[in-house]
Amino acid sequence: MPDKTKYNQQMNVKYKHLELIDVPAIVAECKEKWFNQTLTEINDSVARIGIVEGEYHWHKHDNDDEFFFVLEGELFIDLEDKTIVLKPMQGVTITKGVMHRPRAPKKTVMLMVETKTIDPIGN
C-alpha cells in the first residue's frame, strides 16, 4: 500500500463556477513535491492541478479514465510495456484498468480531468 502521507491531495473543489482560476498563483504558493488540488467541477467530472516532482506509485483506476495535460515541465507516465513522455502542451488519456505510474524528474505542472468520484491513489 502506498504511503499516502507523501502526497498532498486536496479533493475539495476550490473554485466555484464563474470564479477566476489563477494557475500561476497556485504554482507560486506550492512548496510541496507532490500536490494535487481539485480546481472546479464540470458536470460529473473535475479538473485538478498537479504540481509534482518525483515518483507516484504504480496504480490503476478500475472504473475511471484519467486525462493528463502538461503545462510546465515534463511528465513520464510508465505503463507496463512502455513510457509515455509528455512535454508542455501535450496530453494523454489513460484508459480505465491500465496500470500506470506518473513521475516527474523536475517540477512539473499539469492539469488532470477525471470523474469526481475517482480515488487518485488508485484501486
84, part of any domain: yes
38, part of any domain: yes
Q: Which domain holds residue 97?
A: 4-115
CATH number at residue 16: 2.60.120.10
Q: What is the pTM of this model?
A: 0.90
Mean pLDDT of 71-100: 97
86, part of any domain: yes
Q: Give residue-wise pLDDT tens across range 3-17.
A: 555 788 888 999 999
- Measured CA to CA, the distance from residue 50 to residue 110 in angstroms comes to 5
**What is the sign, positive or negative, of the torsion defined by CA atoms of 34, 109, 92, 115?**
positive
35, part of any domain: yes
Instruction: Give the burial class of 34: count Cβ atoms within 10 A of its Cβ; 0-12 exposed, 13-18 middle, 19 or more buried.
Output: middle
Q: What 3-state class would DSSP assign to 18?
A: coil
How many domains does the chain contain in total? 1
User: For residue 10, what pLDDT is reported?
Assistant: 87
